[in-house]
Structure 1
Amino acid sequence: MTEPRRSTLRTRGPRAMAAPTQAGRSRLPALTLGAVGVVYGDIGTSVLYTLKEVFGSGHVPFTEANVFGVLSIVFWTLTVIVSLKYVTLVLRADNEGEGGLVAMLALASRAVRDKAPGLRKWMLLIGIFGTCLFYGDGVITPAITVLSAVEGLDVVSPAFRRGVIPLTLAILLALFLVQKRGTAGIGRFFGPVMLLWFAVIAALGGWHIAQHPQILGALGPHHALLFIGRHPGISFIILGAVVLCVTGAEALYADMGHFGRRPIRIAWFSIVMPALTLNYFGQGALLLSNPEAVRNPFFMLAPGWLMLPLVGLATVAAVIASQALITGAFSVTRQVIQLGYLPRLRILHTSARDTGQVYLPFVNWSLFGLIVLAVLLFRSSSNLAAAYGIAVTLDMTITTVLTFFVLRYGWGYRLGLALAATGCFLAVDLAFFASNLLKLLDGGWFPLLIGAAIFVLMTTWKDGRELLAETLRRGSVDLPSFLDAVFASPPARVPGTAVFLTAEPGVVPNALLHNLRHNKVLHEQNLFVTVRNHEVPWIGMQRRLEAEPLGHGCWRITLHYGFKNSPDLPRALGLLSGRGIALEPMATSYFLSRDIVIPTPGAGLAPWRERLFAQMHRSASAAADFLNLPSNAVVELGSMVEI
């Protein structure tokens, strides 16, 4: 019933966001605290495992110079990728105030539509593949984060070792069980808890730095350059572990619509970056004095009496980091459905005030199943670290490429300037991606396999929908001509309003043909409604509806939604009251066509893809639920369509 269409809305430039109002400034501390809790949970817990994996890999000879070199590489990785690329540049690429890979994809595709139309198809495929990789990352990140936190028990006492896996699975199960209740209630605690987490990790790191202040010399980039010069091969290999320090960097951009770019920037530069730097350098100072701490340098920062409380706090922080990613998976899935790359899924709203608070049961339990599989398959955070990196670095590379097209074609920057702004970041992204390819056989295949499988599903659904629409279009009848023929010898009219949904405006819906054939009546008012989804995040109610009279009590209606809007057809049709079209809810019926797809050999999709599309089409949730139609007013009339 829904079909994506190119938006005619203009792309907003980097300075299009309005200046903050007095009310906005008064909310700045609360938004900043919220950003600390939601945006930075993932990257904030990367201190649990990054240096452990770098030094625990066995590739880096354990010397003072190498500790300085590795710390310098970690610090400048955070600086270049997070501070410069995401916080300074990418956050400027807002799509009507929204961020994230889906928003960036829509922004870039609109930018090149007229100026480089040949690129658009490939850009869409690359962007959708990047979105698919997000799900692969979404499986690894909660698994490695929670498992790393629980592994702190092994540092407390080896007797706890056997309970690490069962406790990890129990925590994950509890986390996914509460998703249907929404995050509105517990979300208010995320900020304070994560603020406590950053204060604790900063204090632990600062305590060890005070004992070895010379470690701060690693802030200089020359230590990173010297390390790379001495060990070029090792430097390339360890980039696959260093990348763990930027897990969750994509969340900075993805959550811009929730908090705004200013709170995200303030939180990063005033709280998160200083705390992470202090903790990483504190771990480095600990390793200088106690090389044996390499088995888990984060937890061994704490004195014995603080070890168990730190494990508890780390576990809570890991759950918060996982929660943010799960919520992101729900939001991204809804956006992708709106853009027409996935079939309708059951979407439950968990908040009466915030339309962004949604719960998708299928996505929730699919993610849980894959995460459990990851934990049981890899069994330790070190093994999961081997699986992590390929998906996220490829995502980062795709973000950089799309940013170039926004700069060049959306904002009109000169080619040299656009290349200069993104070329350095692209080189860094590719270096990290190339290094992570070394982990392909050690586990990197796992998130790639998940992303590839979802990509097949998305492209099959998109291509299948286009093939189905073309098949229906070939057999369609022009609506105005049909109505003229019908009213030349009018059927009996019955009171009330009939709403017929059609994917193609101007053609006769199958439901109308079936209704006339079987019931031989027509309602007093007939609305032929087409829902259009656009490549912008939001479309306001003032631009929601277009109405065109067809005569004889019939109207052609077009409803417009952005990919972050929640479709609500009855509410949208309520706008017709201001145009002299009265709808009585108790006298309005919604007629839907439920097509049954029959795959047939021919010139369409590959046979296996046609069968896959037919199965996806059958499994899609009812349009009535997706469009929020009243269940007691829906009439579905089916037909078989061969593709």
Structure 2
Amino acid sequence: MSSVTGISVHPNATASSAAHVHVHPALLALTVGAIGVVFGDIGTSPLYAFREALSQTAGDGIDPSEILGVLSLALWSLFLVVTVKYVLFLMRADNQGEGGVLALAALARRATGVRPRVAIVLGAAGASLFYGDAIITPALSVLSAMEGLRTIPSAAHIFSEGMVRTLTIAILVALFLIQSRGTAHVSKLFGPVCILWFLAIGGLGLWHIADEPSIVRVFLPSYGIMFLATHGVIGLFVLGAVFLTVTGAEALTADMGHFGIKPIRLGWFLLVLPALALNYLGQGAFALSRLEDAAGRGVPFVNQDWFFLMAPEPVRPALVVLAGLATVIASQAVITGAFSLTQQAIQLGLLPRLRIRQTSANFAGQIYLPAINWLLLLGVLVLVIQFKTSSAMAAAYGIAVTGTMVVTTLLAYIVVRHRWNWSRPLALAAILPFLTLDLIFFGANILRVIEGGWVPLVVAAAIGLIIWTWVRGKKIVRAFEQRQSIPLLDLAAALEKRPPERVAGTAVFLTANPKATPGALLHNLKHNKVLHARNLIVSVRTADRPFVADEDRAQVERVNDDFSSVVLTYGFMESPDVPRDLGVGSRSEQLGLDPMRTSFFIGRNTLKPDAEKGMPPWQDRIFMFLQRNASDPTDFLRIPPGKVLELGEQVTV
């Protein structure tokens, strides 16, 4: 979903074409870019994941078997969830190269044999949960990196908890402030910085494996299975915390459209997975050696910030700085992913129009949505101030991610069963193991609702309510417009018999249904009693694919000498530009329009609540608020304001 790097494939490139790149420098550049964007979230999990999972067992003390069990669960989560499910399986379920929950929902909606509503509901649920993840990731990752300052003995007295929070807030505010300027220039550093990060954490882990070389035995799944079998409910709490190791796995499919399958897979297998595995092994070996040392000295063993303590004290400040840079990059990817997801949701009709700004002339995926940016910042700051520490916040993280993964798996079943045409037994055999694993993790995280897991659920519920209200309200408005409209062919025939006063120029009427007479046209005839020499009835539609080729953009159907129907189709990753695609002012002049003699007419209805019909009054108020605050259609459709006339009537919702 995110697009933050200056390295990108052409928008129309598919995953398969990206996977067959033979030019090694291009493949290398895409792999470096993918490492800087795709793996930022999962790559910063070692900062807190092992520590938080181990802390769940610390109530009655920690013994070596618990360290080995937690570590085995963490590594096998990486293998099963990330490697097998996402890298090897789900990355095959792309929508013309694009991935992510809404791209998958659009693909499933297009699949035969399933009601479109099921796919849309699942997609909306996944999108709602993603926003919960989008406010937690920056807060948790940057705060956990800054807490590393407290592990430096010479600086611990300076960086109190309050100072760490203040520094974290300053970094996050600066990060959100620069979003409006775009990230095209600084994003070139993302790949190299993240490569340095993975080399550093891998090397640090490899160095400490020597503390306890037998730690490699945790590759046997029996250690994790035995831990769960002997720890009861505590084991489920640990499993919920272990899931922190795989947060960010959704980004692997969400960013397929920007990099392709092969660069992401290369980055994962050649660098990211080895670095993460080595670091977790190193943390486990280091914890075991500290446990043995504490037992030998007869002092209590306490859970600590293993990641930073692994580094020698002289290099620890540099590691904190590198961790800060890595977490900022991870946060940037999530923020931009929220922008991209919102754009898709708007195009698919799930959210009202919002102001979208392009921040790069070269890459269409680099966009900025002011409303989403400031809402995310507000949510992030509330989390930092409310939870105070990364340990307190970690409990809130897993539910949103596991919920999204469950939705993704269900959508994958629809695609496998109805798009790939697998038999039901084969589709169930492929999907059920993944779904079972997701549900186990989801159930384990649900146990942490009281600790903070309610946060993403509240955010997801609020977004889900907005989506439901918007979709339901628009359906009511459309039904009203359909009742009031008359077929365009009937109007054309009536005007041929009784022609009105004519004026020179072209009128473009925007409407949802190109076969029906737009309300703005009827109002123009009723009140102004004139008809332009040429009239285009234009409808903007969103396809269930990410991009639409230029030659397929406009479908023109001539009704008679006075009217022509035009349907402009856009992919859900594209921003509409009606004047450009109608040829107004362009060299192509595909419809022969003169920009100086073309006027645009848009219907603008006034909403009126009614307790007796439509939606409940409280939902009416929400819908009316969303409608009032939606971006002006002239901005969204790129129509020059001076060329627009708005006409409408009162609609009861």
CA distance in 2 between counterparts of 1:21 and 1:146 reads 37
- How many Å separate the matches in 2 of 1:172 and 1:116? 43
Counterpart code for 1:360: L
- For 1:525 and 1:21, locate their aligned partners in 2 and report how far apart those are by CA, in whole Å: 48
Give CA deviations for 1:205-262 in whole Å, capped at 9, x if unaligned: 1111123222122122222223223324332220111011011111011011111111
Which residue of 2 is the match for residue 423 of structure 1?
432
1:582 aligns with 2:592: yes
Q: Show the counterpart of 1:135.
A: 131
Query: Quick one: structure 1 residues 69 and 595, their matched pair in 2 at CA, closer, same or farther if it must change by over 3 Å?
Result: same
1:529 aligned onto 2:571: no
Q: CA deviation at 1:48?
A: 0.2
- Residue identity matched to 2:359: T
Correspondence list, 1:317-466, <5 A: 317-466=326-475
SS at match of 1:183: coil
Answer with 515-524 or 67-76: which moved more. 515-524
Q: TM-score, normalised by structure 2?
A: 0.93
Q: 1-side partners of 2:453 and 2:177: how far apart?
A: 28
Quick one: distance in 2 between partners of 1:76 and 1:476?
60
Contact 1:54 1:60 in 2 (8 A): no
CA contact (8 A) 1:35 1:191 kept: yes
Q: 2:503 aligns with which of 489, 494, 501?
A: 494
Aligned in 2, Cα 1:592/1:60: closer, same or farther, shift over 3 Å? farther
Instruction: Give the drift of 1:61.
Output: 4.1
Please show how residues 598-637 of structure 1 align to structure 2 within 5 Å: 598-637=608-647
Per-residue deviation, residues 299-338 of structure 1 (Å, max 9, x unmatched): 0011111111111110110000000000000000000000
Per-residue deviation, 1:19: 7.4
Structure 1 gaps of 5+ residues are 1-14
Instruction: Tell me the equivalent position of 2:650.
Output: 640
Higher mean C-alpha displacement, 289-298 vs 475-484: 289-298
1:146 equivalent among 125, 139, 142: 142
Answer yes or no: is the 8 Å Cα contact 1:388–1:444 preserved in 2.
Answer: yes
Matches of 1:59 and 1:239, distance apart in 2 = 16
Structure 2 stretches lacking a partner, 5+ long: 1-13, 292-300
Alignment of 1:549-568 (within 5 A): 549-568=558-577
The Cα shift of 1:346 comes to: 0.4
Across the aligned residues of Structure 1 and Structure 2, the Cα RMSD in angstroms comes to 1.8
Q: Does 1:38 align with 2:37?
A: yes
Find the partner of 1:122 among 118, 129, 135.
118
- Report matched runs for 1:168-317 at 5 Å: 168-291=168-291, 294-317=303-326
- Once the 2 structures are TM-superposed, how far is the Cα of residue 567 of structure 1 from its aligned partner? 0.5
Give the stretch that moved more between structures: 96-105 or 202-211: 202-211
Amino acid at match of 2:437: V
Alpha-carbon separation, structure 2, partners of 1:262 and 1:122: 31
Question: 1:517 maps to which residue?
Answer: 526
The one-letter code of the counterpart of 1:121 is R
**Do 1:577 and 1:583's aligned partners in 2 also have CA atoms closer than 8 Å?**
no
Q: Secondary structure at the match of 2:605?
A: strand
Secondary structure in 1 matching 2:593:
coil
TM-score of the pair, normalised by structure 1: 0.94
1:446-471 per-residue CA deviation (whole Å, 9 max, x = no partner) reads: 11000001100001100111111001
Residue range with higher mean Cα deviation, 317-326 or 472-481: 472-481
1:561 CA displacement: 1.2
Amino acid at match of 2:181: R
Distance 1:149 1:425 in 2: 32
Identify the range of structure 1 (493-502 vs 375-384) with the bigger mean alpha-carbon deviation. 493-502
Amino acid in the other structure paired with 2:114: A
**Alpha-carbon separation, structure 2, partners of 1:222 and 1:489:** 85
Conservation of the 8 A alpha-carbon contact between 2:18 and 2:259: no
Change in Cα spacing, 1:31 to 1:195, as seen in structure 2 (3 Å) is same
Asked if structure 1 preserves the Cα contact closer than 8 Å seen for 2:601 and 2:646, the reply is yes
Task: Provide the residue aligned with 2:4 in structure 1.
Answer: none
Q: Deviations over 1:96-133 (max 9, x none)?
A: 1100000111112222xx4233xx42342232111100
**Whole-Å separation in 2 of the counterparts to 1:338 and 1:275:** 38
Question: Equivalent residue for 1:27?
Answer: 26
CA distance in 2: counterparts of 1:588 and 1:517, whole angstroms: 20
Shift of 1:60: 7.3
Tell me the amino acid that sits aligned with residue 140 of structure 1. Answer: I
1:514, distance to aligned residue in structure 2 (A) = 2.6
Distance 1:383 1:19, change over 3 A: closer
CA distance in 1, matches of 2:275, 2:332: 21
For 2:225 and 2:73, the matched residues in 1 are separated by: 8
Distance 1:109 1:455 in 2: 19
**Equivalent in the alignment of 2:6:** none
1:461-491, CA deviations, whole angstroms, 9 ceiling, x for partnerless residues? 0011111100111111222222222233323
3-state SS, counterpart of residue 94 of structure 2: coil
Kept in 2, the 8 Å contact 1:60–1:234? The answer is no
Instruction: Give the letter aligned to residue 231 of structure 2.
Output: H
Supply the distance in 2 between the matched residues of 1:381 and 1:47 (Cα, whole angstroms): 13
Letter in 2 for 1:316: L
Paired with 1:486 and 1:267, the residues of 2 have a C-alpha distance of 64
Of 90-99 and 479-488, deviating more is 479-488
Shift of 1:20: 4.9
Deviation at 1:435, TM superposition (A): 0.9
Query: Structure 1 residues 527, 23: closer, same or farther in 2, change over 3 A?
Result: farther
Corresponding residue number in structure 1 for 2:156: 158
Q: Deviations over 1:522-577 (max 9, x none)?
A: 22221110111122111111111111112233211111111111101011111998
Number of residue pairs the alignment of both structures matches: 625
The residue type equivalent to 2:40 in the other structure is G
- Report the 3-state secondary structure (helix = DSSP H, G, I; strand = E; otherwise coil) of the residue aligned with 2:355: coil
Cα deviation digits, residues 168-219 of structure 1 (max 9, x gap): 1110000000000112111111000000000111111111112322212212
